[in-house]
Structure formats: C-alpha cells, structure tokens
Structure 1
C-alpha cells in the first residue's frame, strides 16, 4: 500500500502544476478583467492590459494640461500586477487616428509630463508603467498600479493683436499714433513683421506708411509698441479703412484701423486796417489813426509796426510812427492808436504812405495818406461855428464824423462842416458815441444802444438795462459803455451786451481806453480802471469833484470835470491835479494832432500839449460844448443849441 500511494502522489503533482499555469496564463494579474472601454468627450476608448488586470475603471477624469488640447479627457484606472515592482503594458485604442504631434501624458499632482517610450501609431497608443515607478500614481511597489493617462495634442504657439485707439485723424503731411498690444500664447516668441494694408487685404494707399516694421516678443508678457502712421502731403482727404497685419512664419493676425485724412488748416495770419486812412498834420505836430489788427487761424505774437512809402520806399525823413509794435494774445481783434509825428522841417504836401505790420514771414500793409500843412493857425488853435442840432457827443471813424444828441438825433459828415441828418429809429436822448472794429456804437437814456456800420443805417440793440448810458469807448476788441448808478456794460460785437460789476453806485460819465487799460470817471471824483472790462478797480483821484470825461493820448490819461478840474495820470492809478486857470465846468476832452482839447460850458475851450499847461481858446460860441473829437486833421466839438465848432 505505501508504495502504491507514493506512486500516485508523483503522478498528481505535475497535474496540479499544469492546472496552475493555465489559470495564471489566462488572467495573469489576478481575477479581474484585462480590457475595458470608457466613453469620453471624444468617443469610446478601449483600454487593454498586459501583465495585470483592472481592479477599478477605466473611467474618464478631468485634467488640466497647460499647452495641450485633451480631446478624450483623462483616462484613469487601477490595476493589479502579479508581484510588487512588476511592469504593466497598457494599450489605448481611440475611435479616430491620432492627431499629428499627439503625445501620451501622465498627469500627477496637477503636473502633466510626456510618457517616455510611449508608442503611438494609427489609432493606438501603447506604454509601460512599473509598479512603484515614476508613472505609478501611488508611487509604491505594492502590486497595484494607479494610472491616470491623457492623450495630449500640443497647442501651437500663437498670439493675439489689438490697437488702441482704433481710429485716427491726421492732417495731410502729418502723422498720428496708435498703441499695438501683442499678447503671446502657448509659448510664442520671436520677431513679428508689421505692415499696413486695406481691410480687404489690398495694399495701403500710396503715401500712407507705418513704422516700425517689426516688434520682438521674448517672453510670456504682452508686448506694447507705439505705431506711427505718416500721411504724405499728396494723400487725398477722406476716410480710409485699413488694418495692421502682424506676421511670423505661418502665423498672421490683423487689427482694423480707421484713418481719416484732413486737409491742414490755413496757416496763422492777420488782417490790417486803419481808421481814418488820411490825416492832416501841421509841421511840428502829430496826428493819430486807429490800427485794427484781426488775427486769423490762431495767430498770436508780437507784430512790428513801421512806416514806409506806398511803393515800399523809406518814409520821408522827419515823419515817424509810434508805437513800433503791438502784441496779439488772443482771437479778438486788437486796436492800437498810432501817432504820426511830423517834424518842423517836413515840406508841406501830401504823402502816400503805408503802415507795415510784420511778424516772422508775415507782412501786411495798410495805406495812409498824410497831408502836411505849414505851421501856424492849425487844428485846435482857431475855431469856427458851423451849426447843427442839440448834440451831446461826437466821434470819428472810417473817414466819417458822427454826432448824436436829443430825440435820437444823428448827424454825419466827411469834412466836419457839411452835415447830414440820419434816421436813428429812436427818440431817446443819445449821449455818447464811439467807433471801433468797423462799427459805430451810440448810447443814451433808458439803456438805449444803437449800432451802425456806415453811420447811416442804425440798429437798436438790447442792452439789458434801463439806466442812462452816458459814454462808450472801444479798445482791445471790446466795447465798454458806462452810465448812471455805476452801470458798466461790455460787448465784443456791439449787439450782445453783458452787465459788469463796477463796485460803485456813483454815476459814470466818461470812459476811454489807452495803453491796454480802460479808465472810467464819474461823480464824487470816481475813477475806475480795468484791463479786461470785467474786473474794475477803484482808484484814488484826490478830488470830490464830478469828473465828466476822460481821454488818452501821447502816453497820458487826462480827466476833466467841475470847477475846471483837470487830472492826469500815466498809469491810470496815480493821478495828479493840474492847474487849468478856470473854474468853468469842463465836460468833454479828446486828444489829436499832438494836442489835448477840453470843452465845457459857455463855449469854453482849452488846449494843452502835455496835459499840464493849458491855454484858453476862442470858440466863437457861448453855447455849452459837451463833446469833442479829432479826425482827418480836424477837431470837431458839439453842444447845446445845435452847436458844432471845428478847428481849423
């Protein structure tokens, strides 16, 4: 019996070993399956194992693989291998052929790394992972392989392009700029060529160029570059639909840009005019004309003034012009009183002259006819009565004398002797009149304001006040009117008027402009000054007498008033009382031909060369003289009873 059992045992052992080998070869990693399928975003993927079996999965997992597209997501599973440290072979079969450049990635702890040794062909990818090796997610040689795997398709390097602004307006012959922002993606670096073309891909219009022609990208941060578009002089005005094209290898991106080309504005310029355009001056005397310089197209700066013959020859010796320059600082016309001084030795006769205004390459002229008379018995020395209406003020401008007075009376004359009555359109008492910027402006009671270009056709303007307006002047492109209760109005065009705060309730009777300064005078010795006509400063006059009028000439302000009061000032702030030699009420004052002339009650007339020494003259009338002006070599004074007196 013992022998037969032993023989049976020897026969059974090989059989058991054979059965064990069969079982192992059919499921080498244990009892689980060796293949499986998983539905992914890209379709069904088959997973097959060699050298192990599934204990979990396969399943789809979410992955983030920077720089890669993952069309099938992540495929995760856990497999059992026969022994610790064994190697597992994994074959993935995808529903479509693998994209060019695709790689297998092992994604562990948020980091995705290409699997070394993986083989990809057609629709399959095969790789090996060793238990506890670098591709095993649990990192332990424990007979279990944790294997999240990803099919990654590299995203090619790229960039985006934008402009700011996306539209430009450029003058012919000029340039404009926009900022290009180039943002690299997926590791893009390198030189990018820049060019300009139409939005339809056509070449950019001739004469429109772009610079620079390239930009370099050396890192991951966006690159900004200022682009300059230069527009040639010959490019036609209009709007052009363009785009900036950025190219690098096979990459090409565009950003649209709208370009509007405009014709350049005309260069800065100015016009020049004189009023009056003819003067009569005695030997040794002087005369004045008002220059109006109107800036155009933004002209500003210092303008040199000179006197010459109308043929461009030098002015005759002994005839001089002052001042020698005028400053333009804004858009409004600038007015400047010009004084022509005639030496004693200048021969009598008529001279064809012109005033020349120069600034850089700009040069403009305005013609002026000067008649020189022999000395003696000239303007301001001898007076004669020529008659008229009840008048309160007179001015000269644009070759015309204009006098105003009671019941809306307006008279005009070219020579100061022959007068024509004009229709004013009002019966209000007109008390003051002036000329400036090609316009006559008359003011009067109840806030009356009239304007006229030619002295014949008059327009009633709204003043915004019912106060009596008693005087008006023009200077530095501005009309200024003054009146009762400290009223001050200003206007650029004579039509739209603005009420200003004078700072006083005293009546204001006279106003003038000189040396860049407005000066107004009135009751109780009131004197106000202003540079701009809006902000006024009260000045100390040193008198309580009523001041009726003020003028400026030869660098000096002269104010006159009650009881023969005469005050003078160089700057409008410091005033000096002068001895007039009379207690008569002086009502009006003017300057011309190198002479100050003051008029007043009883036909009183006084003259002075310097404003300090005064000489009484014979007027030929006992009527009150209220207003006086100078123009075209002639003094004209007007007053009560229709009185008009002229000199010479």
Structure 2
C-alpha cells in the first residue's frame, strides 16, 4: 500500500508540473502584452431620486498599447423608472503609455426604486475587453445640504476663430459647505483651430454655507463651424450635478468675387469686357474697392477700367482696351477686391490677336 501511495503521489506531482509550466509561461507573456486598464472615479455615488450623477472613466495604456477603445454603458431595463446611462465620448483613442477619459452619467427618475445598483462600463479594443464598475444608491429626495449649478448664458453664438464664454454659478443649498470639483465633457479629438475646444477655469471652487462661487467656461469656435453641447459637471463627495451649454459656430461676414468669362480674345486696337460680380456672405454689408494689375507689362500694352468702389451685392464691368501698337499674345489680368481687412482676387486672361 505504501508503494502504491508513493507512486500515485509521484504521478500527481508530475501531472501538476506538466500543466504548471505552460501556465507560468503564459503569465510571463501576459505581463508583457500591450493592454489597457479602466477605472471609475468616484466609483460610488449617492443620487437623489429624479436626479443624475456622473463618474469619470479613466483609461490607461499598459506596455505600449495604442489604439481606439470603444466604450459601452450598461443596458437600461424597459420598465418605468429604470435608470438610464450614457457615456461620452463612446470612443477614446489611447497613445502608447498615455491615458484618456470619458464621462459616465447615470439618470434616475421620480419612479426609480430606492435601492443600491451595481453597474459597469465596458471597454473593448479588438480582442481586449475590460470594465469599470460603479456602485450607486438612489435615495429619497430630501432637504439636506446640497448645491446647484447653472450657466449664463446657456446658449452661445460664437464667430469662427474666436472664443465665447459662459459663467458657471454654483450656489450652496441648505447650508452646504465644501469644495466642488469641476470638469467638462471631453473636447473633440481633431486639432484646433479646425475643431472647437473648451475648458473650465478654475477646476474647483469652495462654497461657504449659503454662499455662491463662479467659474468660466471658455469655448473656442473652430474654423470648420458646426454646433454642439458642452456639459459642465460638479462633484463634491457623493453629490454630483451638471449643466449643459449649447453653442453654434457662425462664420464671420465676408464676400466673394467672380468674373466671367474667364478669358477673352480681342483684336489689337479693339476693346473687350468682363462682368464682375460681388456677393456678400454671412451678413456682409460693406463697400468693396476694386483694382487691377496686368502681366506682362509691355509698351502699348492693354489698359483696364472698372469702378473703383462697388456695393456688397453688385455687378459691374471690367473693360480692357488695346491699341494698334499692342503686342500680340496673352495677358493675365488680376482683379483685387478689398474691404477693410478682407481681400480676395480673381484672375482672367486676354489674348490679343492681329
């Protein structure tokens, strides 16, 4: 019996060693595999029934991972009062050993059951998948210490290439006092100045009992135009509130100039004409000064005449005159239109024949 027991022990030991070696090798490979991590801050929230709360989802590259991570919020149930969830943005691009973030928002309703909920945001990139868990408790609305957050204005029209501002006001309620940390929904990934970007300053404020404090949301209007929403979040412990500022990028007043036809042929000693059209855009309503240059410059070369000033919505005539001594060939005429700091040009050609 002793020999049988010893043989069985050796057999089990060998089996364990055989299966342990690949596992150890796998762990070494996994430790050096490019990957990413996810975490939530805060990962625990208390949300009054009918209110919303938010948590920042932080993503970090590990071992040189780089690529896009797709984020998915929890699935909401369909019953009346079920909480709903959003994640913004739904995709975060990580550079090697870099980090990114997204805003996870939980919405409750007056019918939401008072309970504690455990949910998770999922992140996927290829075959890699991770989650960040958030626990939140829905409590009955009550008049305890709290604060409110508002924006003035909450809608901005911003000329492209300029910055619009909104004042974010935080007000203590029921003798609330403490520090409120401020952050915004992420700006687009595309570069400035093409895309709009924004920031909040300062990133935290201190509220005294029944007092108030302000911060400034600055939105730079990207040159490509468009519109969007910026959510400003305030967090203090388990209290979380937010406000949305909408913006629209407007293009500055300008004008266009076109000349037709683009080329003419004229016998030397004769004249020809072109039609100049000036059209204002985006509310432009100023006069436009016109001038011309001719290339090449030759003796007895063509001469031009046109109005020196035209209106913002006008049609005028460019006249080109030649003499009997004008050299044959093609001449380039550049018409320059100027109004204050705005300048546009248009080029036509005239071919002089015998």
Question: TM-score per shorter chain, which class?
Answer: 0.3 to 0.5
Higher strand proportion, which one?
2
**RCO comparison, higher one (Cα < 8 Å, 6+):** 2
Q: Which has the larger radius of gyration?
A: 1
